[in-house]
Amino acid sequence: AQTIHQWPVAEIKAVGSPLSLGCTIKGKSSPNLYWYWQATGGTLQQLFYSITVGQVESVVQLNLSASRPKDDQFILSTEKLLLSHSGFYLCAWSARDNSGNTLYFGEGSRLIVV
């Protein structure tokens, strides 16, 4: 069975400090990977999309960047956090089959920027 793990679970960071969030998928080769952001009580906003190692497509510009260094790993980062970066970050994967891009989400990383 496939498992998806995100780290850290939660962070409190200062404005202007760097950030790195990670995501690892086990049990699935060559998944499509995604980063989503959710403001408190808000809708799901797709941030990045990756179909393979080294290829990342940005969907929304939020002064964030993403990388896919390995087939099973997806990293979200920024060098300088803004207050507006606070929220719930979700990594998700989908398979390249006939499932219609069914997304499976990780547990999420909750970020508070102060």
Partner 1 sequence: GDSVTQTEGLVTLTEGLPVMLNCTYQTIYSNPFLFWYVQHLNESPRLLLKSFTDNKRTEHQGFHATLHKSSSSFHLQKSSAQLSDSALYYCALSPYQGGRALIFGTGTTVSVSP
Q: Is 40 in the site for partner 1 (CB under 8 A)?
A: no
Using CA atoms, how far apart are residues 60 and 5, in angstroms rounded to an integer? 23
Q: Is 46 in the site for partner 1 (CB under 8 A)?
A: yes
β 10-13/109-113 pair status = parallel
The amino acid at 17: S
CB of 21 to partner 1, least distance (A): 14
CA angle 33, 67, 61 (to 5 degrees): 85
Using CA atoms, how far apart are residues 4 and 94, in angstroms rounded to an integer? 11
CB 7 within 8 A of CB 21: yes
Among 15, 39, 44, 60, binds partner 1 (CB under 8 A): 44
3-state secondary structure (DSSP) of residue 34: strand
Q: Is 98 in the site for partner 1 (CB under 8 A)?
A: yes
Kindly write out the interface string for residues 17-36 of this chain, putting x where it contacts partner 1 by CB under 8 A and - elsewhere. Answer: -----------------x--
Among 49, 74, 85, 111, binds partner 1 (CB under 8 A): 49
CB of 86 to partner 1, least distance (A): 15
Binding site for partner 1 (CB under 8 A): 34, 43-44, 46, 49, 57, 59, 90, 94, 96, 98-108
